[in-house]
Amino acid sequence: MEDFGRKPRSKTNSLSQRELKQESKSWEAIQQSILMYLLIENGYIVTIDRPDKFAHLSKHFFVISSIKKGINEFKFCEEIGRRCQNMTNPAIRVCQQKQLKRHFDKSKSSLCVNLLIEFAQRCGYNFTIRGTRSSIYTVKMQKFCEISKSGKTLYNKEDIFRIGSKVNDVLKELCVEANGKECVDISYSDMKKIDENENSVTTDEIVSRSTSRGEFMERTMSAFRRVGFGSNYVVLY
């Protein structure tokens, strides 16, 4: 096997292209994760399929089976499949099977993020969408760099990356713990796991996020079980 690690890092060799591709895949998964986090914060239960294996070189993009709030359940995966079929360009039906599958899978990922954005917008969130290249054969994924609500910025790009990465890691943990199950329900109580590592959210961050949304601190604090003291800050678990 060719050792890509020995090649010099330039913008033109295959290593750099692979890194760029993995970076793009990770950002898509991070976007999906923080969108699920927003919905869960607003009372939704998100059901994801437990994968047989996880991505090793990037964050993992999950298959969402359904999302529920109260007695209302939305068959998320079925809707994605239906939309993807309707949007498939008839011209690509003559393509080779592998290429067609790549187009289909890419469109499913894009539709997943785009639909999650639609649900989050119903909860009052607004997204600053950044420009991306258009595609002929696949659905274009909306990529955002800022999330706001009621005219106030809640998350900038760095926040999205940090919190989305934490959520993605927690989702993988929950899937590993649910060994033997086909699906895993993710609810608000599960999100406390985000702060069970050394990069835990600080009290100031929680206060800032909660007050910017106009929410009561009791709801946010209820997600944590105890308080520990770090060297320069208070960490909630």
Structure confidence by residue, pLDDT tens digits, 47-101? 999 998 898 878 999 999 999 999 999 999 999 988 877 766 555 555 566 677 7
Mean pLDDT of 126-149: 86
Determine the number of helices (DSSP H) and then strands (DSSP E) in the chain: 6, 9
**Structure tokens, 134:** 């258009």
What residue spans define the domains of the chain? 12-192, 200-237
Q: How confident is the model at residue 234 (pLDDT cuts 50, 70, 90)?
A: very low
Structure confidence by residue, pLDDT tens digits, 87-114? 665 555 555 666 777 777 888 899 999 9
**Structure tokens, 227:** 């308080």
Instruction: State the helix-helix crossing angle for 14-41 and 97-122, rounded to 10 degrees.
Output: 30
pTM attached to this predicted model: 0.72
Residue 194, pLDDT above cutoff 80: no
Q: What is the dihedral of CA 56, 129, 139, 123, to 10 degrees?
A: 90
> What pLDDT is stored for residue 89 in this prediction?
57
Q: For 178, phi and psi rounded to 5 degrees?
A: -90, 40
> What pLDDT is stored for residue 231 in this prediction?
36
Strand partners, 67: 46, 74
